[in-house]
Structures are given as C-alpha cells and as structure tokens.
C-alpha cells in the first residue's frame, strides 16, 4: 500500500499543453477514480505516474519517494490497460509469469504468485490456453492477474471496461472492487463513464482540460457540485 502525490505537474506534447498545473494526493489504500471527457489527459496522467511518460515540471511521489526519472520497472506499480495488452503467442500462465521472469524472480515464487492470482480471479482453468481462446471478460481478468502477480503497492487502471459489453462491465466492475477489498492496495482508476466513477470510487477527481475541477466523495460531488461542468458530468441536479 502507498500514498501517491502529484505536485504542480506540467505536461505537453511539443506545443500541445495537456496538463498545466496538476496537484492532488491519494491516500493509502484509497480507490481514487479520475473521470473526465475523452482527450482531457487521463491516460497521460496514468502513464506519468507509472513512469511511462516524462513531464516538464513538478513532482510525482509514491509514498515518501519522489519518483521523477525512476523507470517504470523500478516503481512498485502495475497498470491494467483497456486493450489488455496480452502476448498472443504465449499461454495465460506465461503471460502472467513473463514480467516476473524478466525480474529474475525465482521459479517457485513465480508459481506461487500465479496460482494465488489465478485463485483470486478464478482463472485457474485457463492457464494453459492462449489469449485468443478467451472471452473479453476472461482476457480482462488475465490482464488483472498480470498486475496482481507483481504485488504492487499501487494499481493503475486505464478504462479497463471499455471493450466489454454492458453485462460484463458490471461483472468486472464488481470483480475490481472485490480485488480492492481483498488486497487493500491503493488503486487509481480512470474512466470517462460517470456511472463507473460514482459506483466504484472512494473519492473522485473530476478532470477538465488537464486540471482538477473538483475532488470529493461521490456523495459530495452529487450534493455539492462546485461547477456546472461537474454537475453536468456527474448528473446531479445542482
């Protein structure tokens, strides 16, 4: 578990400024949801926290440690992508083991972690299959399994439900919340879907144009939206 701090971060892609001056703090074990329209910088933000993207100003800290310039593999963070990003030629077991092998984790330890993750996600019967033999929902579970085996302090989710149909979306949403309750890890979850945000979050950050519009619990945002944008986005009467 770990806190996450973003302080005065600035990010641009050549002459396009995506994030001007962004600051927020995430508590240990919190399920924090970032919600905002497409193009507002959600994926960019996650990639910066993960160490997959450089930025021009400010600071990102995981716990007490400022991680600016620390490569992704040296941050105790795992990211779950919307397109799953599984290796098509590898079995599910190998997909889940791959990152740990790269880190020279001893084989018995890898086996222990894969078995534990498979048990949590109920995908033990799928381990010898290839990704193409799995449904979308199963693939998303494998993507989560690959994150779990790293035993990260912080999980990052980038719109993990967006490729699933409505029924599966509810199922995987519940699964992610169950995972949060079970592992107690800090989770940062990005979506453009206000229903996901309202039902899953401990707190929500509403983003607009790479800036914080409001931070609060779902109830706070619903009852006291600070701006018309928040009210419109959250669907509250305010």
What is the closest distance, in whole angstroms, from the C-beta atom of residue 17 to Mg ion in the complex?
Answer: 17
DSSP three-state, residue 2: coil
* 181 near ligand ADP, rule: CB under 6 A: no
Which one of 37-45, 68-76, 106-114, 143-151 is the stretch in contact with Mg ion (CB under 5 A)? 37-45
For residue 9, how many C-alpha atoms fall within 13 Å in the half-sphere facing its CB? 29
CA 143 to chain centre: 11
Instruction: At 127, list the tokens.
Output: 């381990």
DSSP state of 14: T
Task: Give the three-state DSSP class for 71.
Answer: coil
The Cα–Cα gap between 193 and 175 comes to 17
Tell the burial category of 130 from Cβ atoms under 10 Å away from its Cβ (0-12, 13-18, 19+).
middle
Does residue 15 interact with ligand ADP by CB under 6 A? no
Which of these ranges, 37-45, 66-74, 165-173, 196-204, lies near ligand ADP under the rule CB under 6 A? 37-45
Reported as type and span, the H/E element at residue 57 is: strand 57-62
Q: Report which DSSP code applies to 205.
A: E
Give, in order, the Cα–Cα distances in Å from 61 to each of 25, 96, 170, 183. Answer: 9, 27, 32, 21
Which residue from 40, 126, 127, 142 is in contact with ligand ADP, where contact means CB under 6 A? 40
Binding test (CB under 6 A) with ligand ADP, winner from 15, 38, 64, 74 = 38
Which two three-digit tokens encode residue 152? 């990260």
Name the binder of 140 from ligand ADP, Mg ion, none, CB < 5-8 A by kind. Answer: none
**Residue range at the interface with ligand ADP (CB under 6 A); choices 41-49, 64-72, 78-86, 161-169:** 41-49
Partner whose footprint covers residue 41, from ligand ADP, Mg ion, none (CB < 5 to 8 Å by kind): ligand ADP
Integer Rg of the chain from CA:
18
Minimum distance from residue 42 beta carbon to Mg ion (Å): 5
Distance CA 171, CA 159 (A): 15
Of 9, 30, 42, 50, which lies in the binding site for ligand ADP, with binding defined by CB under 6 A? 42
Closer to ligand ADP by Cβ: residue 41 or 225 = 41
Choose which of 4, 5, 6, 43 interacts with Mg ion (CB under 5 A): 43
Query: Which residues in 90-149 contact ligand ADP (CB under 6 A)?
Result: none
* Closest CB 40 distance from ligand ADP, rounded Å: 4
Choose which of 32, 35, 43, 113 interacts with ligand ADP (CB under 6 A): 43
Residues near ligand ADP (CB under 6 A):
13, 16, 18, 38-44
Residues near Mg ion (CB under 5 A):
42-43
């Amino acid at each position: 578990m770990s806190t996450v701090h973003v302080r005065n971060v600035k990010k641009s892609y050549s002459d396009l400024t995506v994030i001007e001056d962004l600051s927020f703090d995430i508590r240990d074990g919190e399920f924090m949801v970032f919600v905002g329209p497409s193009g507002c910088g959600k994926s960019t933000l996650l990639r910066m926290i993960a160490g997959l993207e450089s930025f021009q100003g400010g600071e990102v800290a995981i716990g007490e440690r400022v991680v600016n310039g620390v490569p992704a593999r040296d941050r105790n963070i795992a990211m779950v992508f919307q397109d799953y990003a599984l290796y098509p030629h590898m079995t599910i077991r190998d997909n889940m083991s791959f990152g740990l092998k790269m880190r020279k984790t001893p084989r018995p330890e890898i086996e222990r972690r894969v078995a534990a993750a498979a048990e949590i996600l109920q995908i033990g019967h799928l381990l010898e299959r290839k990704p193409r033999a799995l449904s979308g929902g199963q693939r998303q579970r494998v993507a989560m399994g690959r994150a779990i085996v790293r035993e990260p302090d912080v999980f990052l989710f980038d719109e993990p439900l967006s490729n699933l149909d409505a029924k599966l979306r509810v199922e995987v949403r519940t699964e992610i919340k169950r995972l949060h309750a079970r592992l107690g890890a800090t989770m940062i979850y990005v979506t453009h879907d206000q229903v996901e945000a309202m039902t899953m979050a401990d707190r929500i950050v509403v983003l607009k144009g790479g800036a914080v519009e409001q931070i609060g619990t779902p109830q706070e945002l619903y009852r006291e939206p600070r701006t018309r944008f928040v009210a419109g986005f959250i669907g509250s009467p305010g």
